[in-house]
Amino acid sequence: MKRVVVTGLGVVSCVGNDVASFWQALTAGTSGIAPVAGFDASNLAVRIAGEVKDFRFDARLGKRMHRFAQFAYDAAEQALREAGIDAGDMEGPGPRAERVGVCIGSGIGGEPFLEQQYEKFLAKGPGRFHPLTVPIIIPNMASAMVAIQHNFSGPNLCIATACATGNHSIGTSLDLIRLGRADVMIAGGSESTMSAFTLDGYHQLRTLSTRNDDPQRASRPFSRDRDGFVLAEGAGVMVLESLTHAKRRGAEILAEVAGYGVNADAHHLTAPHPQGLGAVRAMRLALEDARLNPEDVGYINAHGTSTPLNDAMETEAIKQVWGEHAAAVPVSSIKSMVGHSLGAAAGLEAVASVLALHSGAIPPTINLDDPDPELDLDYVPHTAREVPLQAVLSNSFAFGGHNAVVAFRKFT
């Protein structure tokens, strides 16, 4: 089986719009949650979010792209630069255009733009709204625009599995490279659904924290008084390529994508399986694919949403997989700092997992001042921890029961 490695990373997030600032914020335990600034949320029950700040994008190109696609494009550019892949030079030892693919998913796509244009349609009638509305809002345009601008003509996909989107995109890219359908894949997730309608929609599901007066402490995974996640936006993207290809062109290797576990709860629209059966099996599948034993894993990047159901389920699932060793493996949730960016969440968390493996630092779970006594794992509270790591697992469990777990290993 072909080995697949990570050679580039890119990030847009509420704590930083590049990998360095993102990682500095995470290891410092800095929250990016704040009162909503992008629209008027004054009449909403939830008025806090993890909005991306100070994002700049090419105005000409941006006219054809919604914010979620702009985030994806920018993160992909960062990852390609770090990987040393020049889209304008496909000769020599570098990749051929037809062997480079893109799989950047989005859970919802450009829904806020659709809202704006529908209001114009209702007010002014047919033919009076943006003529590119359809291609701007559809989720596959993130992958499409990266390919179009760079002439990448390999496999081009968009996966939309809610919170598991990023991991499914990375896992699918892993499979495509293993199968020989591509040498290089740009993979991850992107999302920007910041609007009053979306915020209120998630609130009606009773999934969001209502701690409007204390935004930076609102997301508190594994805490006794956790009351929901904080909606966020962003993008997390990585360049994957076959080990043979990376070595041939002399690329720096950040980590190996060792394994992938994917399945479904087949249980409920929004709630996880109460015994975590799907999560247990997904983690075991990832470990089996990576040829890892549970005790080989030095860190689990948790889905860790800060909802009562998810945090309890994930804790129980980890206990079932790790058994007596469960208490010894560090587990943390970066959602305590960056909120829950839906289709982008797993992409950001995968980037954080690779950075943890590469640097030997585990980002903390902040706001864990009052731990839930029923949840008794090592959640790395408050401050980052320096630990030599050989393997990391990144969990994602989504609405609809979509489960995706990716295993990363230190490259040797």
Domains in the chain, please, with CATH?
4-248 (3.40.47.10), 260-409 (3.40.47.10)
Residue-wise pLDDT for 10-44, tens only, equals 999 999 999 999 999 999 999 999 999 999 999 99
How confident is the model at residue 274, as a pLDDT? 85
- Predicted TM-score of the model (pTM): 0.96
> Phi, psi (5° rounding) for residue 12?
-130, 125
How confident is the model at residue 1, as a pLDDT? 82
d(CA 334, CA 332): 7
Residues designated as active site = 163, 303, 340
Is 182 a residue whose pLDDT tops 90? yes
How confident is the model at residue 86, as a pLDDT? 74
For 116, other C-beta atoms within 10 Å of its C-beta total 14
Contact indicator for 46, 209 with CB cutoff of 8 Å? yes
Mean pLDDT across 140-151: 95
Residue-wise pLDDT for 232-247, tens only, equals 999 999 999 999 999 9
Contact indicator for 389, 297 with CB cutoff of 8 Å? no
Residue-wise pLDDT for 36-84, tens only, equals 999 999 999 999 999 999 999 999 999 999 999 999 999 999 999 999 9
d(CA 123, CA 117): 10
d(CA 276, CA 272): 7
Residue 277 — pLDDT band, cuts 50, 70, 90? Answer: very high
How confident is the model at residue 95, as a pLDDT? 66
Query: Does residue 145 sit in helix, strand or coil?
Result: helix
Mean pLDDT across 331-354: 98
Q: Distance between terminal CA atoms of the chain?
A: 17
Contact indicator for 190, 135 with CB cutoff of 8 Å? no
What DSSP string describes 240-273?
Answer: EEEHHHHHHTTPPP-EEEEEEEEEE--S-SSSPP
Nearest to 233 by CA among 68, 28, 405, 43: 68
> Phi, psi (5° rounding) for residue 185?
-130, 135
